[in-house]
Each structure stands twice: as C-alpha cells, then as structure tokens.
Amino acid sequence: MMFQYSVPYVLSLMLILISSTSSFSTAPAFFSSSASSTSAFSSSSGNDAPEVVDPAALEKARKTMTMFTNKYLERTQTYLASDPSVARSVVEGLALHKATLGKPLCPCRFYPNNDKEKAAKEGYWNCPCVPMREEKKCHCMLFLTEDSQFRGDKRTFEWTEDEEDEDGDDFEVEF
C-alpha cells in the first residue's frame, strides 16, 4: 500500500511525535473539536494529558522566534534550508516550547523521560544550542553554513499562514 504525504505534513507529524508522551491511547487535544485551530499542545509536565496552549501566547512566541531567527541568521551569516517547510516546522516547535516552557528548547531532540522542563532549565539545548554557538552545527537545519548541501539562498524567515508545499514534493511512504 502506498501513501503520499507532503513535506510539511510529515515534518509536523515528526514534531508531534517528538513532543507527545509515550501514551497514544487517546487523541491529543489539538485533534478535538474544542481546541482552537491555531492552538497547539504541550506535554512538558510529563503527564499523559496534553495541555492546550493559549493561541495568543503561541502567536506572540511565533513572532518572537521569527525575529530571533532573522537576527541570528544575519549575525552568524547562516542560511535557511532550501525547503521552506523545514524552517517553518522548527520555528513552530521553538515557539511552542517558548510558549509552554518559557525557553526556546530545541524541538528536534528527544528528551529522556520527556523532561523538557529540566532540559530547558539546563540550557544546553535552548536555541541557539551549544553546538550551534560553538561549532555552527544546527542539527535542526534552521541555521545552515554556506558549505551545507541543504542550504538555500534565503537569509530571512517570514511566517505565513496556510503555507503550502510550494514545489509539490511529496514523501511516498510504503506500509
């Protein structure tokens, strides 16, 4: 059986799986009809029931992380990935953590025991993470050096609603 998924869809699913707890017996809050379409969820407390994030707090965090991303791209002379959905997914994950944890914790990592609060307090994986600050190595692919094969030409990020997969690339997944 063959399924096609767009790049943003697959990256969003990856963020959801990374951010969710190990219990998949119930649907996360963002799937319920009572959750706002602009809300996200957080399970940073380690409990099985995700909390719905205040849409206004998430929007404020998106703006903050967009400004941060653009300033850091300029300061470090780095580039965004050639696929715009990469930056969008990472900035969304950073904004979610900023809104729920108060810190832009890296959304691309797995945290032992899902203890994101502890990781945010430690600071090693808060964006820009230590590997990025010390070695210019961003494993999220948000900040790419000129010699990266994945870098695009853009050095600014713009948040747009309902962003589509512009080039029509789809992942094909076989089950």
Catalytic center residues = 108
Report yes or no: 107 and 97 within 8 Å, Cβ to Cβ.
yes
Which residues, other chains included, contact 162 with Cβ-Cβ below 8 Å and sequence gap of 6+?
none
DSSP string, 66-91: HHHHHHHHHHHT-B-BSSHHHHHHHH
Cα–Cα distance for residue pair 53/30, rounded to 1 Å: 9
Amino acid (1-letter code) at residue 28: P
Structure tokens at 46: 């380690």
